[in-house]
Amino acid sequence: MNTHNRPGRPGAYAPRSHNSPTRRATVDPVRVLRQHVVGILGSIIIGAGVGVGGFFLLNLVYPLYSSEVLFEVKPGISESTEIGTATSLSDQEVERMARTQTELIRQRDILNRAVNTPDVRDTDWIRIWYMDPETNTPRIELAVDELEEDLRTPVLRGTNLFAIRWSAHHPHDVTRVLDAVARAFMSTRRELDNAIFDQNESLFETQANRLREQIDAFNDEIQAFIRAQGITTLDDPRFSQAAIEVENLAKSLTEASQQVASVQSSYMQTAAKLEGTMKPSSEDILEAENDAALVQQLQRLEVLKSEERSVREQFNEGTPQVRNIERRVRSVEQQIKQKTDEVLRRNLNARLRTLDSERERMQGVIDGLEEELTSKDAALRDLTAHSAYYESLQQQRDNLEEQRNATQKLLREISLMKLRSDASRVTQYGTADLPREPSFPRLEYVVPAGVVLVTGLFVGIVFLREVSNKKIRSMSDLAIVPGVRPLGGVPDIDDDPREPEEAECVVLDEPNSVTAESLRQIGRRILRSMQDQGHQSLVLTGGLPGAGTTTLISNIAIGGQAAGHSVCVLDANFRRSRLGEVLGVDAGPGLGEVLGGSATVDDVVVKGRGDVDVIQAGEPAQRVIERLTGEAMGALLATLRDRWDYVLIDTAPSVAAGDAIDLASRADASLLVIQAGREERGLVARLAGQFAEARGELLGVVLNRPRQAVGGYFRRNYEVMSSYAPEDEHEDDED
């Protein structure tokens, strides 16, 4: 069942292409912090000490005292007679106005005025820092520069207040400088307000004089108009005799027009009745029926209808008597209808002539009224025009007088506002308080700052070392190596809650330990992978010496044998052979003798611990390294595959010797064992690439002895494994 030397079989390692995405190294902060928790606690204590020492040092050599002066933003007063402010300001208005005033405070001319006061020039702040030693005069500009930079002007949210704050090394300097700045600011505010008042007062006085001149001009124009038009009365034209006459004529004209319209409507209706486009009304028919000729015919018709009823009572329908009386009735009815139409037409013609005559008469009346109305209306319009022009002149003069009165009122308001102290929209609240204790340093700030500084420095150095460290210490470090398939990790026995004495054959000696369970899981994963790919022989090698290859082989072999597989382990480490010793086999002939031809497989196979078949390396004299790559080694592996399900081969470390790579080309698969904290990622990637070039498949990499696994995750798993394991064996061991 020789399955080695099969290139391209499924699952074989493929070299990483240049277009594959590069996985970046990541640092797990939880794991790093857990590993350095003692150092972090120490840095916190040291940082607290540094903070306390810094507090006393700063308090001695660089104390700062702070104070402030408060100002209030007010809505102001709109009239000089107001007792208080009538309205309140919104938060946005307060914020905007306060920001405007704080920018005004920081102006250099205000600060310059404050620094030039005797109180400020006499402060230690000026004498120590800003006194020119040659001329013995203060350097005002430099002092103003510091104030401009260090003066704080906060706006107190939720209030109408803003403040100016400043700090200095001497408490009396703080109050003197702040009070001087406040006085300079308020003085500048008053000057600005007075300048605005004076400007407005001058503007309104000019406007009042111009209005007075315009009013005089209108008075002259009104007098000239009265004289020119000969106006003798100033009564309203709407109530004059001419207006009354015009109104009466208009009413008469309206009534006449309505009568003409009524006559015209009757005329049109009568004409329509004559033309047949409109039916005669019931009044027209009744008037026609009252005609004498029609009255006789109607009486005759009534007599005939009475006779008709009598005949119908005496004779049956259709008899000559009934038909005769019916003909007589119809004849009379027809005569009545013809007569009625004739009378209606005669009456309508007569009415039409009457209406036409009335319409002509009324039209004459209307023409006379319109002529008289036109004459009267022209006179009234002239009167109204003169009156309107006169009223317009008066109205314009009255408007100008109102403007003049309003301007004079504003002038009085300005004069009174200048006298009121509460007219300003900014008010100062008191003076700066003398600070009794330093504002800097503060113990509650300096100590945490020291802790943060020292701890941050320590953690930064730790993470810098962590990032720059290229060694593989955890499964996450192994996972980012290109071309590597992690198969699992074997915990360090020091992290095992069961505390086994050694890892070799721990599956047999401490089967309930976390280490044993981890090795069983990795062994099952490796053997299942070999079975799925049809592999029987597996070369196991480490990167550097002490990687733990022998430990892994012994436990995989014991676990596979216990699972019912036939397993043979082959010690091909001719330099430092330990496999036989680990599996409890006495030294004797082995692989070296078989490759030299002095022994057969049956001569050297012995039973080791866990009923595992073991072929040792052989006597030291027979361990010829060159034979490991000869044809005899290939023939031996073929023989072993025919007799056992799995053949596990222990080899020398790959960095120290090239035996493993040569043997990997003859075996079905290979496995790389890495000890955490020793090999770097570049070395593992290079070894994985070399094994990938061999004809056997690289199953993957096992990480041995990672300490304090990522974020404590695996350690918690170890504790769960330990607590879930049977207690009897463990208790017996303790006993």
Residue 120 pLDDT: 92
Q: Which position has the token pair 């309205």?
A: 87
State the Cα angle at 585 between 579 and 587, rounded to 5°: 85
Given pLDDT bands bounded at 50, 70 and 90, which one contains residue 15?
Answer: very low
Instruction: Work out whether strand 537-542 and strand 567-571 pair parallel, antiparallel, or are unpaired.
Output: unpaired
Residue 17 pLDDT: 38
- The answer to whether residue 21 is domain-embedded is no
Question: Bridge partners of 301?
Answer: none
Pair 358, 302 in one domain? yes
- The answer to whether residue 511 is domain-embedded is yes
Pair 564, 600 in one domain? yes
Concatenate the DSSP letters of all residues of 56-81 into one string: HHHHHH--BEEEEEEEEE----SSTT
Phi/psi zone of residue 236: left (φ > 0), alpha (ψ -120 to 50 degrees), beta? beta
Indicate if the pLDDT at residue 11 is higher than 60.
no
Pair 294, 358 in one domain? yes
Pair 522, 665 in one domain? yes
Instruction: Work out whether strand 486-490 and strand 697-704 pair parallel, antiparallel, or are unpaired.
Output: parallel
Indicate if the pLDDT at residue 717 is higher than 80.
no
- Which of 618, 613, 524 is closest to 575 using CA atoms? 618
Pair 387, 531 in one domain? no
Pair 278, 419 in one domain? yes
Mean pLDDT of 353-375: 81
Residue 197 pLDDT: 77
Mean pLDDT of 567-581: 87
541, containing H or E segment: strand 537-542
Tokens for 529, please give them: 């992978």
The span from the CA of 505 to the CA of 556, in Å, is: 9
Given pLDDT bands bounded at 50, 70 and 90, which one contains residue 181?
Answer: very high
Pair 622, 692 in one domain? yes
Question: Bridge partners of 161?
Answer: 72
Min mean pLDDT across 227-236, 290-299, 498-507, 694-703 is at 227-236
Residue 237 pLDDT: 55
AA letter at 352: L
Mean pLDDT of 417-436: 79
Tokens for 606, please give them: 């012995």
Kindly report the backbone phi and psi dihedral angles of residue 429, in degrees, each rounded to the nearest multiple of 5, phi listed first. Answer: -105, 100
504: Cβ contacts below 8 Å, ≥ 6 apart = 550, 551, 554, 555, 582
- The answer to whether residue 305 is domain-embedded is yes
- The answer to whether residue 273 is domain-embedded is yes
Q: pTM to 2 decimals?
A: 0.47
Tokens for 131, please give them: 């006194």
Mean pLDDT of 83-99: 74
57: Cβ contacts below 8 Å, ≥ 6 apart = none
Given pLDDT bands bounded at 50, 70 and 90, which one contains residue 182?
Answer: very high
Counting every residue written for the chain, the total comes to 735
- The answer to whether residue 4 is domain-embedded is no
Mean pLDDT of 534-557: 86
Three-state SS string over 613-657 comes to: EEECCCCHHHCCHHHHHCHHHHHHHHHHHHHCCEEEEECCCCCCC
Indicate if the pLDDT at residue 734 is higher than 60.
no
Indicate if the pLDDT at residue 735 is higher than 50.
no
Count of CB atoms situated within 10 Å of the CB of 412: 11
Find out whether 667 and 4 touch, Cβ atoms under 8 Å: yes
Contacts 24+ apart (CB under 8 A), 89-94: 89/160, 91/158, 94/155, 94/159, 94/160
Pair 446, 416 in one domain? no
Residue 550 pLDDT: 87
Given pLDDT bands bounded at 50, 70 and 90, which one contains residue 731?
Answer: very low
Min mean pLDDT across 82-96, 472-486, 708-722 is at 708-722
The reply to whether omega before 441 is within 30° of 0 (cis) is yes
The span from the CA of 416 to the CA of 412, in Å, is: 6
Find out whether 289 and 406 touch, Cβ atoms under 8 Å: no
- The answer to whether residue 105 is domain-embedded is no
> Which has more confidence, 83 or 501?
501
The span from the CA of 686 to the CA of 688, in Å, is: 5
AA letter at 680: E
Kindly report the backbone phi and psi dihedral angles of residue 256, in degrees, each rounded to the nearest multiple of 5, phi listed first. Answer: -60, -40
Find out whether 513 and 722 touch, Cβ atoms under 8 Å: yes
Please state, for a pLDDT cut of 90, what percent of the chain lies above it.
Answer: 16
Given pLDDT bands bounded at 50, 70 and 90, which one contains residue 420?
Answer: low
Instruction: Give the count of domains, the chain.
Output: 3
- The residue segments making up the domain with residue 354 are 238-423
> Which has more confidence, 497 or 52?
52
Kindly report the backbone phi and psi dihedral angles of residue 28, in degrees, each rounded to the nearest multiple of 5, phi listed first. Answer: -85, 110
Is 175 strand, coil or helix? helix
Q: Is 542 exposed, middle or buried (0-12, 13-18, 19+ CB in 10 A)?
A: buried
Mean pLDDT of 469-485: 71
> Which has more confidence, 723 or 634?
634
Pair 398, 452 in one domain? no
Tokens for 508, please give them: 């047999």
Q: Give the relative orientation of helices 140-150 and 108-115 as an angle to the nearest 10 degrees.
A: 120
138: Cβ contacts below 8 Å, ≥ 6 apart = 115, 121, 126, 130, 131, 132
Residue 28 pLDDT: 65
Tokens for 29, please give them: 């902060």
Find out whether 40 and 459 touch, Cβ atoms under 8 Å: yes
524, containing H or E segment: helix 514-533
Residue 52 pLDDT: 92
221-246, pLDDT tens digit by residue?
Answer: 878 877 776 555 555 555 556 667 77
Residue 567 pLDDT: 92
Given pLDDT bands bounded at 50, 70 and 90, which one contains residue 728?
Answer: very low
Residue 732 pLDDT: 41
> Which has more confidence, 44 or 256?
44
Indicate if the pLDDT at residue 463 is higher than 50.
yes
Indicate if the pLDDT at residue 379 is higher than 50.
yes
DSSP state of 155: B
Chain-centre distance for alpha carbon 63: 43
Tokens for 450, please give them: 């020291």
DSSP state of 707: -
Q: Is 275 exposed, middle or buried (0-12, 13-18, 19+ CB in 10 A)?
A: exposed
- Which of 541, 571, 528 is closest to 671 using CA atoms? 541
Pair 451, 364 in one domain? no
Q: What is the CATH number of the domain that holds 536?
A: 3.40.50.300
Indicate if the pLDDT at residue 610 is higher than 50.
yes
Indicate if the pLDDT at residue 543 is higher than 50.
yes
Pair 308, 402 in one domain? yes
Residue 21 pLDDT: 43
**Averaged confidence pLDDT in the chain:** 80
Indicate if the pLDDT at residue 475 is higher than 90.
no
Residue 53 pLDDT: 92
Tokens for 605, please give them: 């196979």
Given pLDDT bands bounded at 50, 70 and 90, which one contains residue 329?
Answer: confident
Give how far Cα 28 sits from Cα of 21, 35, 70, 260, 467, Å: 21, 11, 52, 111, 10
Pair 562, 704 in one domain? yes
Count of CB atoms situated within 10 Å of the CB of 711: 17
Question: Bridge partners of 73?
Answer: 426
Kindly report the backbone phi and psi dihedral angles of residue 168, in degrees, each rounded to the nearest multiple of 5, phi listed first. Answer: -150, 170
- The answer to whether residue 463 is domain-embedded is yes
Torsion angle of the four alpha carbons 476, 526, 648, 721, in this order, in degrees rounded to the nearest 10: 70
Q: Is 233 exposed, middle or buried (0-12, 13-18, 19+ CB in 10 A)?
A: exposed
AA letter at 475: M
AA letter at 16: R
- The answer to whether residue 635 is domain-embedded is yes
Count of CB atoms situated within 10 Å of the CB of 518: 23
Residue 202 pLDDT: 85
